[in-house]
Chains A and B, each alone.
Chain A
Amino acid sequence: MREMEAVIGLEIHIELQTGTKIFCGCSTAFGAAPNTQVCPVCLGLPGHKPVLNQKAVEYHTRAALALNCEIVPYTTFDRKNYFYADLPKGYQISQYFHPMGVNGHVDVNLNGETRRIGIRQIHLEEDTGKLLHPGEITDSPYSLVDFNRAGVPLVEIVTQPDVRNAEEARLFLQKLRSIIRYVGVSDCKMEEGSMRCDANVSVRPSDSVEFGQKTELKNMNSFRAVARGIEYEIARQTELVRGGEPVVPETRHWDEARGITRVMRTKYLATDYRCFPDPNVPPLECDPEWVARIRQSLPEPPDARYARLVHDHGLPAYDAEVITASRAMADFYEQTVDLFNEPKTVSNWLMGEVSRCLNAAGKELEETALAPQQLAGLLQLVQKGVISGKIAKEVFEDVFQTGRDPETIVKEKGLVQIADEDELGAVVDRVITANPKVAEDFRGGKERALGFLVGQVMKETRGKANPQLVNELLRQRLRN
Chain B
Amino acid sequence: MPNDVRIGRLHELLRSGETTAEEIVAAVLDRVTSLEATLNTFITLTPERALAEARAVDQRIAHGEEIDPLAGIPVALADNICTEALRTTCASRMLGDFIPPFSAVVYHRLRQAGSVLIGKTNLDEFGMGTAGVPVFGPVPNPWDPTCLSGGPGWAPAAVVAVRQTALSIASDAGGALRRFAACCGVVGLKPTYGLVPTHGLIEFAPSLDHLGPLTLDVTGCALALQAIAGADAQDGFSTGTAGEAYTGYLGRGVRGRRIGVPREYLPPETHPGVRKAFEKSLDLLVDLGAEVEETSLPHTPYAPAAHLVLTSAEAFSNLSNFDGVRFGHRAEARHLHEMYRRTRHEGFSPEVRRRIVFGTLVLSGDHFEDYFVKAQKVRTLVRRDFEQAFKRYDLLAAPTVPVPATAASGNGGPPEMRPEDLPLLPANLAGIPALSLPVGFAGGLPVGLQLMGPPFGEGVLFSAGYALEQQTGFYRTTPPITGTEG
Q: How far is the CB of A51 from chain B (nearest CB, A)?
A: 5
Tell whether, in the assembled complex, residue A89 and residue B98 are in contact, meaning their CB atoms are under 8 Å apart.
Answer: no
Residues of A263-284 whose CB lies within 8 A of B: 272, 274-276, 279-282
Q: Which residues of A contact B365 (CB under 8 A)?
A: 272
Q: Which residues of A contact B237 (CB under 8 A)?
A: 280, 282
Tell whether, in the assembled complex, residue B320 and residue A91 are in contact, meaning their CB atoms are under 8 Å apart.
Answer: yes
C-alpha spacing A350/B168, complex, angstroms: 71
Residues of B402-447 whose CB lies within 8 A of A: none
Q: How far is the CB of B230 from chain A (nearest CB, A)?
A: 15
Tell whether, in the assembled complex, residue B323 and residue A90 are in contact, meaning their CB atoms are under 8 Å apart.
Answer: yes
Tell whether, in the assembled complex, residue A49 and residue B317 are in contact, meaning their CB atoms are under 8 Å apart.
Answer: no
Question: Which 3 pairs show the lowest CB-CB distances between chains A and B?
Answer: A90-B320, A279-B207, A274-B363
Additional 7 contacts, C-beta under 8 A, given A46-B321, A47-B199, A81-B316: A40-B100, A46-B95, A47-B81, A47-B82, A90-B321, A274-B360, A279-B207
Contact of B100 among A45, A51, A91 (CB under 8 A): A45
C-alpha spacing A84/B314, complex, angstroms: 19
Tell whether, in the assembled complex, residue A85 and residue B100 are in contact, meaning their CB atoms are under 8 Å apart.
Answer: no
In this complex, the interface size class of chain A, counting residues with CB under 8 Å from chain B, is 20 to 34
Interface string of B358-389 (1 = CB under 8 A from A): 00100111001000100000000000000000
C-alpha spacing A43/B102, complex, angstroms: 13
Tell whether, in the assembled complex, residue A51 and residue B234 are in contact, meaning their CB atoms are under 8 Å apart.
Answer: yes
C-alpha spacing A36/B312, complex, angstroms: 34
Tell whether, in the assembled complex, residue A280 and residue B201 are in contact, meaning their CB atoms are under 8 Å apart.
Answer: no
Residues of B277-335 whose CB lies within 8 A of A: 313-314, 316-317, 319-323, 325-328
Can you show 30 pairs from A to B with CB atoms below 8 A apart? A40-B102, A44-B326, A45-B101, A45-B102, A46-B95, A46-B98, A46-B322, A46-B327, A47-B82, A47-B88, A47-B102, A47-B199, A47-B203, A48-B199, A49-B200, A51-B234, A51-B236, A52-B236, A81-B363, A83-B320, A83-B340, A89-B321, A90-B323, A91-B317, A91-B320, A272-B364, A272-B365, A279-B205, A280-B236, A281-B236
Closest to B238 in A: A49
Q: Which residues of A contact B102 (CB under 8 A)?
A: 40, 45, 47
Contact of B82 among A43, A44, A46, A275 (CB under 8 A): A46
Tell whether, in the assembled complex, residue A49 and residue B236 are in contact, meaning their CB atoms are under 8 Å apart.
Answer: yes
Q: Is A149 in contact with chain B by the CB < 8 A criterion?
A: no
Q: Beyond A279-B205, A279-B206, A279-B207, is A89–B236 a contact (Cβ under 8 Å)?
A: no
Tell whether, in the assembled complex, residue B202 and residue A46 are in contact, meaning their CB atoms are under 8 Å apart.
Answer: yes
Q: How far is the CB of B236 from chain A (nearest CB, A)?
A: 5
Chain B interface helix/strand/loop/mixed:
loop
Q: How far is the CB of B311 from chain A (nearest CB, A)?
A: 10
Chain A interface helix/strand/loop/mixed:
loop
Q: Is A184 in contact with chain B by the CB < 8 A criterion?
A: no
Q: Is A79 in contact with chain B by the CB < 8 A criterion?
A: yes
Residues of A19-45 whose CB lies within 8 A of B: 40, 43-45
Q: Which residues of A contact B236 (CB under 8 A)?
A: 49-52, 280-282
Q: Is A372 in contact with chain B by the CB < 8 A criterion?
A: no
C-alpha spacing A280/B200, complex, angstroms: 12
Q: Which residues of B contact A79 (CB under 8 A)?
A: 317
Tell whether, in the assembled complex, residue B198 and residue A49 are in contact, meaning their CB atoms are under 8 Å apart.
Answer: yes
Tell whether, in the assembled complex, residue A45 and residue B364 are in contact, meaning their CB atoms are under 8 Å apart.
Answer: no
Tell whether, in the assembled complex, residue B326 and residue A45 are in contact, meaning their CB atoms are under 8 Å apart.
Answer: yes
C-alpha spacing A466/B18, complex, angstroms: 102
Residues of A234-272 whose CB lies within 8 A of B: 272
Interface string of B325-349 (1 = CB under 8 A from A): 1111000000010001000000000
Q: How far is the CB of A275 from chain B (nearest CB, A)?
A: 8
Q: Which residues of A contact B250 (CB under 8 A)?
A: none
Q: Which residues of A contact B314 (CB under 8 A)?
A: 279
Q: Is B90 in contact with chain A by the CB < 8 A criterion?
A: yes
Closest to A44 in B: B321
Q: How far is the CB of A278 from chain B (nearest CB, A)?
A: 8
Q: Is A145 in contact with chain B by the CB < 8 A criterion?
A: yes
Q: Which residues of A contact B368 (CB under 8 A)?
A: 274, 276
Q: Which residues of B contact A45 (CB under 8 A)?
A: 100-102, 321, 326-327
Tell whether, in the assembled complex, residue A85 and residue B199 are in contact, meaning their CB atoms are under 8 Å apart.
Answer: no
Q: Beyond A79-B317, A272-B364, A281-B236, is A88–B326 a contact (Cβ under 8 Å)?
A: yes
Tell whether, in the assembled complex, residue B360 and residue A83 are in contact, meaning their CB atoms are under 8 Å apart.
Answer: no
Interface string of B445-477 (1 = CB under 8 A from A): 000000000000000000000000000000000
Q: Is B233 in contact with chain A by the CB < 8 A criterion?
A: yes
Interface string of A71-82 (1 = CB under 8 A from B): 000000001010
